Amino acid sequence: MSLPNTRRKLPNIVITGTPGCGKTSHAEQLVQQCPELTHINVSEFAKKNNCIEGWDSERDTSIVAEDKLLDLLEPLADKGGLVLDWHCCDLYPERWVDLVVVLRCDNTVLYDRLKKRGYKESKVQENVECEIMQVLLSDAKENYDSQIVIELQSEQVDTLDDNVDRITQWFTKWKQDHSQGVSNKLPS
């Protein structure tokens, strides 16, 4: 697929983390502070756009048709200004992503949040173990330039506000530093 010869004037931000870390809360508050941005809850987007190809009964979750999902997201990412909220980050092409925010949460807090959501004990345990092992942080660091990956704690409302303020400051600085936009093409 050939890419349009365009420049995007707004960055794309990925907010990722173990389920229960506050991705959606962060994304929603961020777009309230930065209305130029558009929040996409990738799980909901996948469901609404028929990107579900099955059900994983062991993990009690949908199986996403990733290629179809990426095909639908690509024209939106090429325009820029997306806040992609999902528990995965490693499937997005590098050229789409300007900042990866990995939310982290204390295991006890995370456990309580997931139990409150009604997750099965096996799903709670798997997600808490994922958080302990820093799986999503490792995925982000392995797949993107380390300079665009930030790790933020997310346990309380105060940290949510501080985190969103920090991301908002980054967004403002990105726009100043890239007033001509950035290319949608990979560097040669």
| pLDDT bracket for residue 74 (50, 70, 90) | very high
For 2-42, the pLDDT digits (tens) are 445 579 999 999 999 999 999 999 999 999 999 999 999 99
> Is residue 2 in some structural domain?
no
25 is in an annotated binding site: yes
| 14: phi then psi, degrees, rounded to nearest 5 | -105, 125
Nearest CA to 40 out of 1, 2, 92 is that of 92
Q: Is residue 1's pLDDT more than 80?
A: no
The pair of three-digit structure tokens given for residue 102, joined into one six-digit string = 């990995």
85 or 2, which is more confident: 85
Q: Which residues span the domain enclosing 106?
A: 11-171
pLDDT, average across residues 183-187: 76
> Is residue 184 in some structural domain?
no
- Start-to-end CA distance of the chain, whole Å, equals 17
For position 59, what pLDDT does the model report? 86
> Is residue 185 in some structural domain?
no
Question: What separation in angstroms does the CA of 114 have from each of 18, 118, 134?
Answer: 10, 7, 17
20 is in an annotated binding site: yes
Q: Is residue 79's pLDDT more than 90?
A: yes
Q: What is the mean pLDDT of the chain?
A: 94
As a whole number of angstroms, the distance between CA 30 and CA 24 comes to: 10
183 or 140, which is more confident: 140
> Is residue 95 in some structural domain?
yes
Q: Is residue 187's pLDDT more than 80?
A: no
- pTM, entire model: 0.94
118 CB-side CA count, 13 A: 1
For position 22, what pLDDT does the model report? 96
> Is residue 123 in some structural domain?
yes
141 is in an annotated binding site: no
> Is residue 1 in some structural domain?
no
Say which CATH number the domain at 67 has: 3.40.50.300
pLDDT, average across residues 78-107: 96
Structurally, how many domains does the chain consist of?
1
> Is residue 4 in some structural domain?
no
23 is in an annotated binding site: yes
> Is residue 3 in some structural domain?
no
Q: Is residue 47's pLDDT more than 60?
A: yes
Residue 140, classed as helix, strand or coil, is helix
